[in-house]
Amino acid sequence: MSARIKQLVAAPGGRRTKWLVLAVWILLVAALGPLAGKLGDVEETGPNAFLPRSAESAELNTALERFRGGSDDEIMPAVAVYTVADGTMTDAGRQKAAADVRAFAPYVADGERVTPPVASDDGGALMTVVPLTDTDDLGDVVDDVRAVAADGAPPGVDVQVGGPAASLADSVAVFDSLDATLMLATLAVVTVLLLITYRSPVLWLLPVLSVGFAAVLTQAVTYLLAKHAGLPVDPQSAGILMVLVFGVGTDYALLLIARYREELHRHEDRHAAMRLALRRCFPAVLASAATIAAGLSCLYFADISSSRSLGLVGAVGAVCAFLALVTVLPALLVIAGRWVFWPFVPRHGTPVHAHRTVWSRIGAAVAARPRWSWLMSLGVTAVLAFGVVGMDFGLKQSEMFQDKPESVVAQERVSAHYPSGASDPADIVTNAAGKDAVRDAAAQVPGVAGVTADGTTRDGELAALRVTLDDEPDSDAAKDTVDALRTAVGAVDGADALVGGTTAEALDTQRAADRDLRTVVPIVLGVVLLVLIGLLRALVAPLVLLTTAVLSNVAALGASYLLFDHVFDFAAVDWSIPLMGFVFLTALGIDYNIFLVTRVREEVAAQGHAKGVIAGLTSTGGVITSAGIVLAATFAVFAGLPLVTMAQLGVLVGVGVLLDTFLVRTVMVPALALDLGRWTWWPGALFRRETARAGRRGAERAPGGAAAAAAPEADRVRA
């Protein structure tokens, strides 16, 4: 770093500038606080928020807006289903269903009407479709419809309200409670772990306060980018955003505080200690933030809108967490003084490590048999990776929640008495001139139970059809029917027919997830590799780190699937999980290797390769382990959420981070570095320096002994 940059980096540790930094942050938070509270106003909850951008089903949803005169509000049907446990529907049940048709009328979308109750063939159920408008208050409207349906239900008659409107309302209800639940749970987890880590009643407050500053900045910047720059934000990405900021921000806090504590042992002046700590750990924290931001930003190339949103919003969070934790936290620490570490106050002149630590013992064990160590750790990851064999993908709508909401129960009742697709038919939009031909073609497709007209646009150019399928909307059989349906109506000349609906959306998402995995993963690996090469100024070490990260990701997915199957009893893995898990684990998990290897590089330059590797592992072992546990615990909060997709992502990231922390970073990477010797740093300046150092040692031990000078350093380490 240049002298000017060093001064800027160390500014939060200055005697006067610390107060300036704190004042700027207080003013910034006061100004941005109101904007942070508006993030929910820009969240996208429309029908295309979680769909692939290029999907035919998304194109159909856009076309359906024309049926509302260009309005963004889509018709979302709710389905009231009346059932009896045994036998046929009672007269009281039929009277109740008929009365509800009139009672539902105030909630119906303009220009629409409630369908009369339709009896099932077995006589045990009645079904009424209530067309609602997909607006911001859809959840309240669904609650009102459910209250009407439940009011005065005759004995023996069960009434549930499901359908697309109720499913969306149930999902949004989960996300509405998500932010508060996640924030409280994450804050509790971070607080407990910081108390355990520091064993101080005061110190834990400063990282939490700093992360709070970062959270306000993140939400405000995200809101402004969404409002004025088109940044996509949905309820899922907004909920995960705060967990990411807390987890990453706490990691940076742990690294900075650990280095500051070390320097306090060496320097009497706490300002000098902080300035030095910032200069020495800043490159690692910057590289970490750059890796996370760059890795998550690669999701911009994903086709699924929710994946793009999560990646871009997460990148904003990583940058804001970095800015806060390298500025306001150092200022707070220096202002507070040494006493903030009480009762374990670091005293000037006392040794940093007064006794041999567990990490020095692990380092010695790895150094004794480096090749055996990395082969053993490789074997463990390989065994865990076998868990991906036979993995089941694709969650049905009924499997998306850990606890069944009313919409899922209603769908089960419909499937038991009607063609399974009756409550959620497929949609077709076609040119009005070809409507009859399209309807005839659709009716001939195997798996189609019926086709009905569903209106035309006001200009008469487009016509809509509803197609009832024989099978459940998100079943494999229904997806096959949609494929056949698209082929059949696509063959009608001049019709330009589009097929959408829940089944088509599930099919399009499944295929886009596979495409995104094949497209985004290589981009992420390439970007992360470039960041590592720029940081370490070598080629071998970045390739080693990236390879271990990929192995760890596969092992984490295999281990997580075993947990999904045998502990959580999830029916399958959501299509988005492999890509989301890979990107998060590559971006987050590589952090710990960055923290380790940058410190190792610093120690190698001072002590030589073998001693430097062990010294780097020893000095960073405690802080990186604490950081890994904090990050894993924050994401593990997801496991208790009702939405299965988020629970799976949380478990996968938590397992992957723990693998990186306790196996990859602790054993595999140091062992590989020791086995490779100075070639770890090839072809950079450190490799040339270590080669020259090895030559000098060889010459000293055996004057004129060229063979000794040429002996691989790794062999001498093992000896």
Residue 346's pLDDT is 84
* pLDDT band per the 50, 70, 90 thresholds, residue 221: very high
Query: Which amino acid makes up residue 708?
Result: A
pLDDT above 70 for 462: yes
522-539 pLDDT tens trace: 999 998 898 888 888 889
Least reliable range by pLDDT among 146-155, 214-223, 291-300, 356-365: 356-365
pLDDT of residue 22 exceeding 80: yes
Separation CA 638–CA 560 (nearest Å) = 14
Q: Are 468 and 450 within 8 A, CB to CB?
A: yes
Per-residue confidence (pLDDT) for residue 714, from 0 to 100 = 42
Segment 429-450 shows an average pLDDT of: 92
Count CB atoms within 10 A of the CB of residue 16.
8
pLDDT for 85: 81
Per-residue pLDDT, averaged over 636-659, amounts to: 86
The pLDDT assigned to 145 comes to 93
pLDDT for residue 485: 94
Residue 712: strand, helix, or coil: coil
Residues 173-195 have a mean pLDDT of 72
pLDDT, greater one: 546 or 692: 546
pLDDT at 46 over 80: no
Between 713 and 2, name the one with better pLDDT.
Answer: 2
The strand pairing partners of 431, in sequence order, are 462
Question: How confident is residue 443, by pLDDT bands cut at 50, 70 and 90?
Answer: very high
Pick the more confident residue, 542 or 186: 542
How large is the average pLDDT for residues 305-309? 88
Helix axes 577-607, 270-297, angle to 10 degrees: 140
pLDDT tens-digit readout, 225-281: 999 988 888 887 887 888 888 888 888 888 888 889 888 988 889 999 999 989 888
Q: How many residues does the chain have?
A: 719
Q: Return the pLDDT at 697.
A: 67
Mean pLDDT of 435-463: 89
Position 352 scores a pLDDT of: 65
Instruction: Please report the pLDDT score of residue 128 as a whole number.
Output: 93
Predicted local distance difference test score (pLDDT) of residue 68 = 62
Q: What is the pLDDT of residue 708?
A: 43
Backbone angles phi, psi at 90, to 5 degrees: -80, 160
Q: What is the pLDDT of residue 719?
A: 37
Residue 468 pairs in a beta bridge with 450
Q: What pLDDT is recorded for position 706?
A: 43
- Mean pLDDT across the stretch 489-501? 91
Cα 624–Cα 628–Cα 629 angle in degrees, nearest 5: 120
Percent of the chain residues past pLDDT 70, beyond the cut? 92
What pLDDT is recorded for position 1?
A: 59
Would you give the DSSP letter of residue 156? T
* The pLDDT of residue 179: 62
Structure tokens at 593: 């290797």
In which band, very low, low, confident or very high, does the pLDDT at 6 lie, cut at 50, 70 and 90? confident
**710 pLDDT band (50/70/90 cuts)?**
very low
Confidence tier at 147 by pLDDT (50, 70, 90): very high
> Given phi > 0 = left and psi -120 to 50 = alpha, else beta, which region is 447?
left
**Range with lowest mean pLDDT among 156-165, 345-354, 405-414:** 345-354
What mean pLDDT value characterizes the chain?
85
User: What SS3 class is residue 393?
Assistant: strand
Q: Which residue has the higher pLDDT, 444 or 111?
A: 444
DSSP 8-state assignment for residue 103: H
Over residues 601-612, mean pLDDT: 87
pTM of the model: 0.81
Model confidence at 2, pLDDT cuts 50, 70, 90, reads: low
pLDDT at 323: 93
Instruction: Please give the span between the terminal C-alpha atoms of the chain, in angstroms, as a whole number.
Output: 38
pLDDT band at 61 (very low <50, low <70, confident <90, very high): confident
Listed in order, strand segments (DSSP E) in 432-584 are: 448-456, 462-469, 498-500
The string over 258-288, giving b where at least 16 C-beta atoms fall within 10 Å of a residue's C-beta and e elsewhere, is: bbbbbbbbebeebbebbbbbbbbbbbbbbbb
Averaged pLDDT, 101-111: 87
> What pLDDT was estimated at residue 438?
92
Q: Is the pLDDT of residue 584 over 50?
A: yes
pLDDT of 484 higher than 90:
yes
If one compares 422 and 228, the residue with the highest pLDDT of the two is 228
Please give the pLDDT value at position 356. 60
The CA distance from 395 to 166, in Å, is 18
Q: How far apart are CA 290 and CA 302, in angstroms?
A: 20
- The number of beta carbons lying within 10 Å of the beta carbon of residue 197 is 22
